[in-house]
Homo-oligomer: A and B are copies of this chain.
Amino acid sequence: MSARAGIAITGTEVLSGRVRDANGPWLSDRLLELGVELAHVTICGDRPADLEAQLRFMAHDGMELVMTSGGLGPTADDLTLEVVARFTGRPLALDTGLEQRIGEILRPLTARWPGLDAEALRSANRKQALVPAGATVLEPVGTAPGMVVPPSAGLPAIVVLPGPPRELQAMWPAAIATELFRAVIGRGADFGVSTLRLFGIPESEIVATLRLAEASIEGLDALEVTTCLRRGEVEVVVRHEPDSRSAWEALGDLIAQRHADTLFSRDGSTVDEQVAGMLGEGERTIAIAESCTGGLMAARLTDRPGASGYVLGGLVAYADEVKAGLLDVDPGLIERHGAVSPQAARAMALGALQRCGADVALAITGVAGPGGGGEEKPVGTVCWCGLAGDGAELELRMVLPGDRAEIRDRSTTVGMHLLRRLLRGEPGPRA
């Protein structure tokens, strides 16, 4: 039985919905990888009584591990450590070495502002160097250190982390490497996690394969296997100790054998990473032509740093007359087959390929709704076409479920998978 854990997110901006919390979902994923069972996520504002009530609730409901995020800054409303110290009965004491290290981080930042009040600065610096008795310090990534506070009678271990996602994520490896953390989750350092990803398959088919694996693979019960759906893909996450390696490999082989045409990642890589890798390493350039996605496909491909190495450009041909002007789509073709048709998608892809002088092109045209749907082409009807300069070509037509935003988003995921298969010289994904 694995440890039960909770996550407490603090910050008035997050509670009010002004800032979208990125830390809860990110920490959820990390806990899943570690095989820790997440039971509660809570969000409160910058009010000490509310955070303390949430910690008390988590302890009362049997959490053995609680992560907090936020409230570690130098200002008066950054109260997390004070609350944690009071809640755990561990008085705060100044760590002078830490105070000095924070001071050194601050020096170049403050040198730019000669007018700053030196005393106020010193006191802010000192506030961030206060450590609850018995806690392990996690060195600052920004200016705020994190803490791992040991469990005590009836109370969970508390991992205190900063609010900015970049700082929290950079500090996480140090947190899980602490002896305290390892002891709570009851795992050695050599425990591993692997993720398989599949596309174009219902989750139930994977569940059936896992049942088959239970009956046929020896030692499978030493693995912890979780499946979940994410943006139309199925993820299979497996936690394994060194001595269960052969069972894990047998499971991976079974899935690869039964689901060869839908398994696209055995090493945890995402389809976006794979497409970017194939374009970048193959020195192949890409152009995009899109209608219903309105720029989202190009935006997704340029989301990654370094995208300028292979993305040449995109054409958002939203109006039909612009499909002719920007992409050389024959207006007669649209008249005959409609703007949402395999023929239009192919003409758009060809236009983008030629106009941008790219090696590969992807086109998407569809009915995102809520209006514009018909008997023959209901809302959600989308056509994709991928073309390569060497003559390779893939086409797909599907009716996607969901509302306008979901149809637009899912269209880019299908587009990524079409691209991946085109770049690998494989047949298209299942409709």
Chain A interface (Cβ within 8 Å of chain B)?
Answer: 13, 15-18, 20, 24-26, 28-29, 32, 38-45, 47, 50, 53-54, 57, 60-61, 166, 228-230, 285, 287-288, 290, 293-303, 305-308, 311-319, 321-322, 325-326, 355-357, 369-372, 403-405, 408
Residues of B within 8 A of A297 (CB): 295
> When the two chains form their complex, are residues A294 and B315 in contact, meaning their CB atoms are under 8 A apart?
no
> When the two chains form their complex, are residues A40 and B43 in contact, meaning their CB atoms are under 8 A apart?
yes
Answer whether A316 and B288 are a contact pair too, CB < 8 Å, given A53-B57, A357-B325.
yes
Closest B residue to A306 using CB positions:
B371
> When the two chains form their complex, are residues A18 and B298 in contact, meaning their CB atoms are under 8 A apart?
no
> When the two chains form their complex, are residues A41 and B43 in contact, meaning their CB atoms are under 8 A apart?
yes
Residues of B within 8 A of A40 (CB): 42-44, 50, 53-54
Copies of chain A in the complex: 2
Q: How far is the CA of A314 from the CA of B295 in the complex (A)?
A: 8
> When the two chains form their complex, are residues B312 and A298 in contact, meaning their CB atoms are under 8 A apart?
no
Nearest-CB distance from A69 to chain B (Å)? 13
Nearest-CB distance from A271 to chain B (Å)? 16
> When the two chains form their complex, are residues A294 and B322 in contact, meaning their CB atoms are under 8 A apart?
no
Q: How far is the CA of A278 from the CA of B235 in the complex (A)?
A: 45
Answer whether A302 and B325 are a contact pair too, CB < 8 Å, given A16-B38, A39-B50, A57-B53.
no
Listed from nearest, the 8 A-B pairs whose CB atoms lie closest are: A17-B25, A294-B302, A295-B298, A295-B295, A314-B316, A295-B299, A17-B28, A313-B322
Answer whether A319 and B308 are a contact pair too, CB < 8 Å, given A16-B38, A17-B26, A43-B41.
yes
**Other-chain contact of A356, B17, B308, B326, B405 (Cβ < 8 Å):** B326
Closest B residue to A44 using CB positions:
B40
Nearest-CB distance from A51 to chain B (Å)? 10
Q: How far is the CA of A370 from the CA of B308 in the complex (A)?
A: 12
Nearest-CB distance from A301 to chain B (Å)? 7
Residues of B within 8 A of A299 (CB): 293-296, 299, 408
Q: List 23 A-B contacts (CB under 8 A).
A: A13-B229, A15-B28, A16-B28, A17-B24, A17-B25, A20-B25, A39-B44, A40-B42, A40-B44, A53-B57, A57-B60, A57-B61, A294-B301, A294-B303, A294-B311, A294-B314, A295-B295, A295-B298, A303-B405, A307-B318, A312-B318, A312-B321, A315-B315
